Structure 1
Amino acid sequence: MKLDTSHMRYLTPEDFKVLQAVEQGSTNHEVVPTSLIHQLSGLRSLSGTNRSISDLAKLKLIAKLRNAKYDGYKMTYNGIDYLALKTMLNRETVYSVGGTIGVGKESDIYRVSDRNGTEKVMKIHRLGRTSFHTVKNKRDYIKKNAKNGVNWMYLSKIAAGKEYQFMTLLFAKGFDVPEAFDCSRHCIVMELIKGYPMRRLRKHKNIPKLYSDLMSFIVKLGNSGLIHCDFNEFNIMIKDKVEDENDPGFVVIDFPQCISIQHNDAEFYFKRDVDCIRRFFKKKLKYEPKSDSTMLDTDGFGDGYKYPYPLFERDIHREDNLDELLQASGFSKKHPGDRDIEEAIDAMRNNISYDSEEDVASGDEVNSEDGDSDGEYYYSESDEEDSEGESEDSLEEENERIIEALSTGIGNLRMDSLGNYILEE
């Protein structure tokens, strides 16, 4: 879908108000009624609203649905393009739009510049193309929002917002990704990388180092809690010029499909990312490192290192929680270690432990005179029967005192580490 901005300069503020009204009404209407458009636009005159609607329809920024049961209009991709550009123009992140850099299966890439003449890249998400309808089934955050038949423009907004979050945080964490400058609706403005996609790479001055750096990127991302899921020669940019020795010479792009390392299929997608790089280097660059047990260096992969490529179980060890911060697909708030903590807390609450299975079977009493038997307190069933009535009375009396203190505000209350109120004397 071609981005045509030639008519944008002729639109009036009233036209943009009506266009925004159609966008706002589209959140719960497939076809927005004309009366609702007038109400949401805030224009005084109905005739002025109708005039703007007519002009916007001629420019194909909004469209009238055939055989609709009532008079109304729906937003088109051209219309949402204009709204996104207008927003970024007001923020001064975009001043002019140039030609197309590339067209992907789910996005269009354009060259833009700001008011100072700095060149940037604008990525426009275009979910819903006939060749990529399965996107709803592949991404959890889209599947969740697509249950009730949400339109593709709304899903494109979600994907753009998700990618902007990923890029912003990853760049701040020192990953080799483009710097993101702005995001509006389904558009992202980011840093222009002077280079070319790795799919066009046939020669390189240091192929083993490039291979090792790419594999290390996958592991570093995994240790931070994320898996790219589309790590291949199409989403890796090779720079024309390497700045210094610490510059790996590449930049990774395209992040809306990232998942958490807690995802049920995390190991599968991690292996697929690794296999994509191995296959490209073997087929196009004739490079396939072999395992060498004599090498001890495990900081990289390939020639000169112990392992030829990373494995999920062996090399991924959580060092950061980017998947939690970004709420990546497959992330669960309960980390594996949290289950151990919960079991420990339950044991503390129950305050029951037995020395052996024989003690449980015989009901023998096991006491610790000094109270420091490995930090545990033991008691027998007979102790429980003798003290059951007394403990219930004392607990009931203490609960009544705590309730009275909470209701009157009189009393010295504090809360322990388990969230229980304690009434101090």
Structure 2
Amino acid sequence: MGMRNHEIVPSELVDRIAGLKHGGTYKVLKNLLKYKLLHHDRSKYDGFRLTYLGYDFLAIKTLVNRGVFTGVGRQIGVGKESDIFEVAQEDGTILAMKLHRLGRTSFRAVKSKRDYLRHRSSFSWLYLSRLAALKEFAFMKALQEHDFPVPKAIDCNRHCVIMSLVQGYPMVQVKQLQNPETVFEKIIGIVVRLAEHGLIHCDFNEFNIMIDDEEKITMIDFPQMVSVSHQNAQMYFDRDIECIFKFFRKRFNMTFQEDRDDDDTEVEVDENSRPSFYDITKDANALDRELEASGFTKKEQNDLDKFIEGGLEKSTDSDEDEESDDEEQTFESNEERNLNEMNSLQLQEEEQNRSDEVEAEVELDDNEKSESSGDDENEAERDEELDKKLGKQRRRAMAAARGGRKSQSSRNTYKDKGGRSQNSKIHSNMSGCW
């Protein structure tokens, strides 16, 4: 609750939110720190922040209270941005629990590689993990409804996603296949079918493809999916296709049909073997519009911003053509206004430049006059200072000469306080002795 507005929650705010008496807040914080569910931070001020272990505890406790599962088992997978565990339901059914952990040392550039934040300048790794889990759960559920080979989405809370356990192995661990050509065609068909539904996986490689003993394909990991309307959609699509071609070429020694032109030295891949992004026709019931994938128009991006900030209620309009016409008209009017503003700004800049030139010329004339008069004044001041310095030096020399004479005379004519010199005393003593 306190971390909505604070990266490190102050101790006073924790005590105020808890509302416990007689030092109860201190005792609870001490126990949470003991089990590393919280972290005490004094770098900026005295406060606490929630750790990933504490966030795991909150998500698991909520899902257990809902009755989704009753126990957590062994860890079955570790990724660059997630951990996967087995969980058991009350009837013994085994499910998979994926805990998103964005912010690992190997994946610090998530802000530039994912579109969760959009215009936000500051962020929390826990908040980013929550958005990733929410997005993956939504994509998984929609793809399942359209008969895509994905795990069954069960439930989601905070950064935790519960799904069905896939009985198989990652494609990267498979060394041999009975029918590699058939498996290759299935995988390429999934990529093309996704694009026809308006989506691009963006990370479709051997690590995110599961295969069982019957060579049935299941794809996983969806937080980075984008729309075919994304500005880099072609690059992402070609990269996914190239990853599949490269893997099957190296692992299973597959060769693909290629035509070599006599005139050119470049190798052109046949259209039948390598699909092209521009040859794909988008389906009318596109999932990117339904799921608000990134890369859409400005209006849809604003809707996703509101959805991320919390609580966007989907609204459907009856006539989409009218909306597009209105958007074009507003766009044209905005362009005309921008042109008029630019012209007025240019005129103002020209007038300002002219006035600045005139003022600069006037200032140059004034500076020349002031410099000429200032030089004469400076010369007179320098002459006066020299005269003063010479006079002071003469007075010091005369004073030093007079002081030297006085000191010599005082040494030769030294007398005691009584007015008699020391030599007269010696003469009187000697005369007394005689």
Q: Structure 1 length as normaliser, TM-score?
A: 0.66
CA contact (8 A) 2:116 2:128 kept: no
After TM superposition, give the deviation of residue 220 of structure 1 in Å: 0.8
* Structure 1 counterpart of 2:274: 309
Which deviates the most, 257-266 or 321-330? 321-330
Aligned to 1:55, which of 11, 19, 31? 31
The answer to whether structure 1 residue 137 and structure 2 residue 137 are counterparts is no
Q: How does 1:213-232 map to 2 (within 5 A)?
A: 213-232=186-205
After TM superposition, give the deviation of residue 173 of structure 1 in Å: 1.3
Aligned to 2:44, which of 68, 73, 80? 68
Q: Tell me, in whole angstroms, the C-alpha distance in 2 between the residues paired with 1:220 and 1:96.
A: 37
Q: Tell me, in whole angstroms, the C-alpha distance in 1 between the residues paired with 2:33 and 2:271.
A: 64
* Structure 2 counterpart of 1:39: 16
**Once the two structures are superposed, what CA deviation does each residue of 1:294-337 show, in whole Å capped at 9, x if it has no partner?**
xxxxxxxxxxx9700211001243342211221111122679x9
After TM superposition, give the deviation of residue 91 of structure 1 in Å: 1.0
Which deviates the most, 174-183 or 320-329? 320-329
* Structure 2 counterpart of 1:116: 91
* Structure 1 counterpart of 2:292: 327
Q: How does 1:377-416 map to 2 (within 5 A)?
A: none
CA contact (8 A) 2:153 2:164 kept: yes
- After superposition, the Cα gap between the structure-2 partners of 1:117 and 1:313, relative to the gap in structure 1 and judged at 3 Å, is same
**Once the two structures are superposed, what CA deviation does each residue of 1:25-44 show, in whole Å capped at 9, x if it has no partner?**
01111211223223323x44
CA contact (8 A) 2:170 2:209 kept: yes
After TM superposition, give the deviation of residue 343 of structure 1 in Å: 8.4
After TM superposition, give the deviation of residue 289 of structure 1 in Å: 2.6
Task: Give 3-state SS (helix, strand or coil) of 1:117's partner.
Answer: coil
* Structure 1 counterpart of 2:230: 263
Q: How does 1:197-216 map to 2 (within 5 A)?
A: 197-216=170-189
RMSD of the TM alignment (CA)?
A: 2.4
Task: Give 3-state SS (helix, strand or coil) of 1:131's partner.
Answer: coil
Runs of at least 5 residues in structure 2 that lack an aligned partner in the other structure: 260-269, 301-319, 330-434
| 1:52 aligned partner, one-letter code | V
| 2:39 aligned partner, one-letter code | A
Q: Tell me, in whole angstroms, the C-alpha distance in 2 between the residues paired with 1:105 and 1:212.
A: 29
Aligned to 1:240, which of 213, 227, 233? 213
Runs of at least 5 residues in structure 1 that lack an aligned partner in the other structure: 1-23, 243-248, 293-304, 347-425
Task: Give 3-state SS (helix, strand or coil) of 1:124's partner.
Answer: strand
Aligned to 2:156, which of 183, 186, 209? 183
Task: Give 3-state SS (helix, strand or coil) of 2:17's partner.
Answer: helix
Q: How does 1:318-397 map to 2 (within 5 A)?
A: 318-332=283-297, 342=325
The structure that has the greater radius of gyration is 2
CA contact (8 A) 1:85 1:94 kept: no
* Structure 2 counterpart of 1:273: 240
Q: Tell me, in whole angstroms, the C-alpha distance in 2 between the residues paired with 1:206 and 1:72.
A: 59
Q: Tell me, in whole angstroms, the C-alpha distance in 1 between the residues paired with 2:28 and 2:326.
A: 64
Q: Tell me, in whole angstroms, the C-alpha distance in 1 between the residues paired with 2:202 and 2:327.
A: 36
| 1:231 aligned partner, one-letter code | F
Q: Percent identity?
A: 43
Q: How does 1:143-162 map to 2 (within 5 A)?
A: 143-145=118-120, 147-148=121-122, 150-162=123-135
* Structure 1 counterpart of 2:2: 25
After TM superposition, give the deviation of residue 338 of structure 1 in Å: 5.7
- After superposition, the Cα gap between the structure-2 partners of 1:345 and 1:53, relative to the gap in structure 1 and judged at 3 Å, is closer
- After superposition, the Cα gap between the structure-2 partners of 1:38 and 1:116, relative to the gap in structure 1 and judged at 3 Å, is farther
Structure with the higher fraction of residues in helix conformation: 2
CA contact (8 A) 1:109 1:122 kept: yes
| 2:144 aligned partner, one-letter code | F
- After superposition, the Cα gap between the structure-2 partners of 1:289 and 1:61, relative to the gap in structure 1 and judged at 3 Å, is same
Which deviates the most, 90-99 or 251-260? 90-99
Q: Structure 2 length as normaliser, TM-score?
A: 0.65
Q: Tell me, in whole angstroms, the C-alpha distance in 2 between the residues paired with 1:345 and 1:97.
A: 54
- After superposition, the Cα gap between the structure-2 partners of 1:334 and 1:262, relative to the gap in structure 1 and judged at 3 Å, is farther
Aligned to 2:58, which of 83, 87, 92? 83
Aligned to 1:173, which of 139, 142, 146? 146
Q: Tell me, in whole angstroms, the C-alpha distance in 1 between the residues paired with 2:159 and 2:56.
A: 8
* Structure 1 counterpart of 2:381: none
Task: Give 3-state SS (helix, strand or coil) of 2:128's partner.
Answer: helix
* Structure 1 counterpart of 2:70: 95
After TM superposition, give the deviation of residue 124 of structure 1 in Å: 0.8
**Once the two structures are superposed, what CA deviation does each residue of 1:196-246 show, in whole Å capped at 9, x if it has no partner?**
00011222222111111111111111111110000000000002346xxxx
Task: Give 3-state SS (helix, strand or coil) of 1:86's partner.
Answer: helix
After TM superposition, give the deviation of residue 288 of structure 1 in Å: 2.6
**Once the two structures are superposed, what CA deviation does each residue of 1:12-32 show, in whole Å capped at 9, x if it has no partner?**
xxxxxxxxxxxx101111211
The answer to whether structure 1 residue 194 and structure 2 residue 194 are counterparts is no
After TM superposition, give the deviation of residue 174 of structure 1 in Å: 0.9
Task: Give 3-state SS (helix, strand or coil) of 1:93's partner.
Answer: coil
CA contact (8 A) 1:291 1:306 kept: no
**Once the two structures are superposed, what CA deviation does each residue of 1:121-171 show, in whole Å capped at 9, x if it has no partner?**
1111111111111111011223544x12x1211111111111111101111
After TM superposition, give the deviation of residue 93 of structure 1 in Å: 1.2
CA contact (8 A) 1:38 1:46 kept: no
* Structure 2 counterpart of 1:252: 219
